[in-house]
Structure 1
Amino acid sequence: MVSQKTLDPVTFIVNRLLPAASYGSYQCKHFFIMDVLRPALININGRIYRRNAIKEENYEEKEDDFYQDERPEYEELETDEVCESHLIEQTDKGFRCAIDVPSVLYKYIIGKKGETRRRLESDTKTSITIPKLGIEGEIVVTGAQKNAVSSAVTRLEMLIDGFRRKQPFTHFLSFALNDSQVQEGFHAFKAMVLEQFSQDSGVDDSIFQNPSKLHLTLGTLVLLNETEVNKACDHLQEFRHVIKDLTEGKPLPLEVMGIEYMNDDPAAVDVLYAKVNLQDGSDRLQVMADRLVEHFVSAGLMVREWDRVKLHGTVMNTLFRKDSTAEDVGGPGRRNPRDREAFDARNILKTFGSHRFGEFDLSCVQLSQRFSTDCTGYYSSAGSVSFA
C-alpha cells in the first residue's frame, strides 16, 4: 500500500475527496479534479471569465419547432464574476440593463419551451425580456437588486459566447493573392498537373481553387448582424497605425513560389498550398498577421486557433470535390475530414515543389465576407486597410 506521504498533492486531494469506489480509477479522478482546479478561460468583450464545467441537458431536435431545436447550455459562474461592461440603470421599480444580442441567438437564450430563460430568471431573481423573432434589438434584464441584474447579464454573456462558438463563421481577415500574374501562374500549374498526373489517385479538376479567390486567411470571425460587422470594421481601422509602421506606408513586394502540403503523408493529402514570402526576405508580413490576430482576439472578436498564423495560399483542397462553393478558410463549420477523399500529391510535390506562381505588390488587408463575390471575382469586402 502506498503511503499518503509519497503522493503528490493532487493525488492526495483526489484520494481524500473522491473515493476510488465512486470514480473507478485515479486517472478518472485526476482529470475531474484538474477540471475543477483549472477551469477553461473565455474572453468576452476583452474580459476573462472562468467557465465551470457542468452537465449539459440534451433534447431531441424537432425541425418544425424553432425554439425547441437546440440544446440549451447553462454556464455556471464564480459568484464574484459580475458584469462590468454594461450600464445598469436604477428605475422606480429596481434596476435595468439592456444588452445588444443578434436576433439569430434569441432561440438559444429562450431554450426548449422557454426553459433556459426561466431557469436563468429563477437563479438570478430577475426578469429577462427578449425581442420577437427576427427583430434586431436589445435583451432587457430587470430586477430588484443591482447585483442580481449584473449577475444575470454576465451569465447571458456566457451563454451567448457558448452559442456563438457553434455558429459557422461569416467573415475572415484576408490578404488577396488574386493578382493577374499569380492567376496566370496558377492556371499554368493546374493545366500541367492535370496533363501529367490526372491518373494519380484523387487528382481531378474539381479540387483546384477558384483562381479569382486565391488568398491568405489570417483568422475567422462570427459576425451575426450589421452592428457586429461595423464593430469589426472599426477594430480593423484601429490597427491602421500598426500597419503603416510595418509597411512604412508602401505596398509589400510579395513572391508566391513553391508548394507544400498540410498533413504528414504526401500520398494522402487534403490541402496543397502555395508558399508566400516577401521579396526582401523580412518577416514583416508574418509579424503583421500575428499582431492583427492578437488585436482581434484581445477584443473577443476572434478565437485563437494557433500560436502563429500559418501564411498559406490554398491551390488544391478536397473540400471542393463534393461542393464547389465550399470555403477553404477554416474555422467552425468545416466539413468532417472523414467525408473527404484525399489525393496522392507525391508526383505533384516532386515536379512542382518550386513552381513560381508570380510576384506582385500586396497593398491591403481585408475583412472578407464568406460565400460572397465582388466585381473582380474575389470575396466581397466589409472593410479594409491600405498599406500605402
Structure 2
Amino acid sequence: DSTGILFGRHMEVLRPQLIKIGGRIYRKNPIQEQTYQHEEEDEDFYQGFMECAEEPCDAYEVVQTQQGFRCTVKAPSLLYKHIVGKRGDTRKKLEVETKTSISIPKPGQEGEIVITGQHRSGVISARTRIDVLLLTFRRKQPFTHFLAFFLNEVEVQERFLKFQEEVLEKCSMTQKDHPNGHTILHLVGGNVNEMPLSDHGVDSTIFQNPKKLHLTIGMLVLLSEQEIQQTCEMLQQCKEEFIDKISGGKPLEVEMAGIEYMNDDPGMVDVLYAKVHMKDGSNSSIGSTWHVPKEHTNDPAKR
C-alpha cells in the first residue's frame, strides 16, 4: 500500500548503501525523478516536436519476423511515462501515425520498449520519434552524478586557506576603508559606503572545506543501474585507451590560477571557482571524447 511505499522510501534515505572508494566512504542516494510543472503538457509537446523527427534513421536494428518487423529500445523506466503520455495519448498517436504497436513495461519495471509493425519504414519512424522523446525528457532531468578529481595536494589546500583569510580580512572593512571596496561590493551586490562587506554574505560559511576541494570534469544524468555500470566501464576504457596514451603513465600537469564566477551578473554570484588549465590543452580532447555537453564541462576547481 502507499504507507509501505512511503516507509520504504524513508528507509532508503535513512539507511543508504555505502560505497568505499579510495579510503573515502560515500552515501549512494536513490535516484529520484524531479516533477515538473508542465508534465501534463506532454500531448502538446508531442505535436511540436514531431517536425524534428520526420526523417527516419537507417542505423536502427530492425528484425524481420513472421508477423512483420520488430525493433527494441533500451531506456530507463523513469522515462517510460513520457512515451505513454497523459491517459496513454502519446503512445496512441505514435501507433496511429506510424501504423505500429508499441509495448512499454509497466511503471517501476525495467525492460525494453518493443515496437512491432507490418512495414519496416513504420517501425523505424516510431523508433526515431521515441528516441527524440527520450532525449528531450532526459535533458530535463536533474543531474545525478558528476566526474571529478579530488585536490588533495597540501599546497593547494594551504593556498586556498590563505585566499580565504585574505578575502575575509578585506571584507571586514567598509568600502571607504578599503581601496578595492567598490569592486568587492559590486561583486556581492552592495553599494553602501559605510557597510561592512561581511553584511553582504561574505563570511567564512561560504567557503568550501579545503579537504573537499575538487576538479569537476563534467555533469551526468544516469537514471538506472545499467547506465551507472556502463559509465564505470567507459571510465575504465577511457583511462586505458586515451588517458594512459597522452600521459605516458606520468601525471598530467595542471595550472591553477585566478578566479571566476558562475553568472553574467557579478551582483548575483552563486559559485566562485578557481580557473584550471591543462598545460598541453588535453582537457578539450577529453570533453569531446566523452560527448559531454559543452555547457556541462568545466576547467574550474569548484569551491
In the TM superposition, 1:1-388 aligns within 5 A as 69=40, 71-72=42-43, 73-74=45-46, 75-76=49-50, 77=52, 79-85=54-60, 87-198=61-172, 199-200=196-197, 201-240=200-239, 241-262=241-262, 269-277=269-277, 283-284=279-280, 286-287=281-282, 289-297=283-291, 302-305=292-295, 310-315=298-303
- Match of 2:73, SS? strand
Q: What corresponds to 1:33 in structure 2?
A: none
**1:146 Cα deviation after fit:** 1.6
Relative distance call for 1:264 and 1:71 in structure 2 (3 A) is closer
Deviations 1:274-305 (A, max 9, x none): 23356xxxx22x32x211111122xxxx3232
Deviations 1:208-227 (A, max 9, x none): 22433322222222111122
Pairwise CA RMSD: 2.8
Q: Is contact 1:70-1:108 (8 Å) kept?
A: no
Relative distance call for 1:81 and 1:131 in structure 2 (3 A) is same
Relative distance call for 1:135 and 1:204 in structure 2 (3 A) is same
- Match of 1:292, SS? helix
Deviations 1:136-159 (A, max 9, x none): 111111111122111111111111
**1:69 Cα deviation after fit:** 4.3
Q: Is contact 2:53-2:128 (8 Å) kept?
A: no
Relative distance call for 1:130 and 1:210 in structure 2 (3 A) is farther
Relative distance call for 1:197 and 1:141 in structure 2 (3 A) is same
What one-letter code is carried by the residue in structure 1 that aligns with 2:284?
D
Q: Is contact 1:83-1:154 (8 Å) kept?
A: no
Relative distance call for 1:78 and 1:224 in structure 2 (3 A) is closer
Most deviating of 260-269 and 112-121: 260-269
Q: Distance in 2 between matches of 1:102 and 1:211?
A: 37
Relative distance call for 1:138 and 1:183 in structure 2 (3 A) is same
What one-letter code is carried by the residue in structure 2 that aligns with 1:185?
R
Gapped regions of structure 1 (runs ≥ 5) = 1-59, 63-67, 316-388
Relative distance call for 1:292 and 1:96 in structure 2 (3 A) is same
Q: Distance in 2 between matches of 1:61 and 1:216?
A: 33
Q: Distance in 2 between matches of 1:61 and 1:249?
A: 49
What one-letter code is carried by the residue in structure 1 that aligns with 2:300?
H
- Match of 2:69, SS? strand
Relative distance call for 1:124 and 1:263 in structure 2 (3 A) is closer
Count of residue pairs the alignment pairs up: 238
**1:111 Cα deviation after fit:** 0.7
- Match of 1:189, SS? helix
**1:185 Cα deviation after fit:** 3.1
Q: Is contact 1:97-1:141 (8 Å) kept?
A: yes
Deviations 1:341-379 (A, max 9, x none): xxxxxxxxxxxxxxxxxxxxxxxxxxxxxxxxxxxxxxx
TM-score, scaled to structure 2: 0.68
- The structure carrying a bigger helix percent of its residues is 2
Deviations 1:6-47 (A, max 9, x none): xxxxxxxxxxxxxxxxxxxxxxxxxxxxxxxxxxxxxxxxxx
What one-letter code is carried by the residue in structure 1 that aligns with 2:219?
T
Q: Distance in 1 between matches of 2:284 and 2:74?
A: 29
Deviations 1:141-183 (A, max 9, x none): 1111122111111111111011111111222232322434423
Q: Distance in 2 between matches of 1:258 and 1:180?
A: 18
Q: Which one scores higher on RCO, CA 8 angstroms, separation ≥ 6?
A: 1
- Match of 1:203, SS? coil
What one-letter code is carried by the residue in structure 1 that aligns with 2:147?
L
Q: What corresponds to 1:339 in structure 2?
A: none
Relative distance call for 1:118 and 1:203 in structure 2 (3 A) is same
Relative distance call for 1:82 and 1:265 in structure 2 (3 A) is closer
